[in-house]
Every structure is written in C-alpha cells, then in structure tokens.
Amino acid sequence: MDTVIQRSFDTLFRESNARIAQGLRRSTRYLGIYSAGVGHRGNGLLLTGASGVGKTTLALELASRGYALLGDETTIYDRAQRRLLPLERALMIRSESFPLLSDAALEERCKRFGFCAADGTRLVYHVAARALFGASAFSPPVQPRAIVHLERGVSEGLIKLSTARYVCSMSSCFYLERSTPAATMQVLTDLMDVSVYRLRIDAPQAAADTIVEFLDAL
C-alpha cells in the first residue's frame, strides 16, 4: 500500500482516538474504561490489565470464536442505563498477535481489508471489526457482569478478587476530566456489584478457553 496513504490513515486513527477521549472526559453520562470487552447473551465482560498484557489479542481470539466485541482497548459505560456500550471503531492489531491466535486466516483478512503502518520494528493493522468477523462483530448494549484483570504468568484459572478494592484502583483507568469526587464515587458504586477476577495469561487460546467456560456459565 502507498506509504502516504498508510501515514494518512494512521494519523486519522490517532486523531479519532484523541477526539473520543476528549469527548469522554467531558461527559457526565458516558465513561470510558481502559479495557477490551466482549458481550454474550446480554452479559458484558471487561478485560483489564497493563498495556501489552494481551487484552486485544484475547478479545480477538474470543471474537474469532463468535463472541461479540465491545471494544479492543476502550469500553463505554452508560451510567444512566447501567449498560456497557460497544465502541465501533477500527481495531488496532499488532502483527505479533497473529501467531498466537487460532484463526490462521485472520492475518490475511487484515492484509486484505485493513491498513498497516510501521510502529518501530513491527507492523500495526487498522481494520474494521465487521470486515473480520461479520455483521455481528459488535455486541448490543449489555449488563456489566464481570471484570477479568489480566496479568502475565502461568495460568491458575480465574481467581476472585475483592471488588471494592479493585474497582477503586480502576479509577485511574477512567477518562474523567471535570467530574467531581461525588460523581466518581457514584460510578464506582455502580460497578460494586460486578464480580472481579484475576487471570494470569501465558497463551491467548488457553485464556480464551477459560473465559468461554465462564461466560457460558453466566
């Protein structure tokens, strides 16, 4: 693909991210949570964790198995309806994710339908989720049911965490700019009923098996 087109699309992608973040910081109703997310049978699950831990890769693995996306790195929470909303934008997929996924054809579909740009020594693909996974790629609004916090390491399965302590620690993940302490606490209170788990991840496919079993049991 022409280098000028690649650079133009990459710039557009960064600018759209900045505009989304700016809008969320100013909103009192909609909250952006730094997470990947999937929806299943009306239930929403957030995948949180540090940058590079594998949130997007795990979300892609789940999407390739038929689970609907809420987002790959930002999920929208509607405080009025107490629902998670899909953020329908282009996915950002790093080239090193492809060998870790069970869908061997995903890389070819990204090359066919997406744009790629160099990020240091690796390629990053920007591609519409519907082009990869079909018309049902994104979930309708769903109720938040669980947060799975991802960490690097050998999997021990899902370990339940203290919801109150974890949700309070998530406040730094919210795109809040003009909110008052009372508004922030209201959001945290909204999420207090959401179960929180830790999952150590060493292979996306194995982690996806654990998530699938959990979602199907909800």
pLDDT (tens digit per residue) in 89-107:
888 898 999 999 999 999 9
> Which tokens is 21 given?
């973040």
- Give this prediction's pTM: 0.85
- Residue 110 belongs to a domain with what CATH number? 3.40.50.300
The structural domain count of the chain equals 1
Give residue 46's domain range: 3-217
37 vs 168, which has greater pLDDT? 37
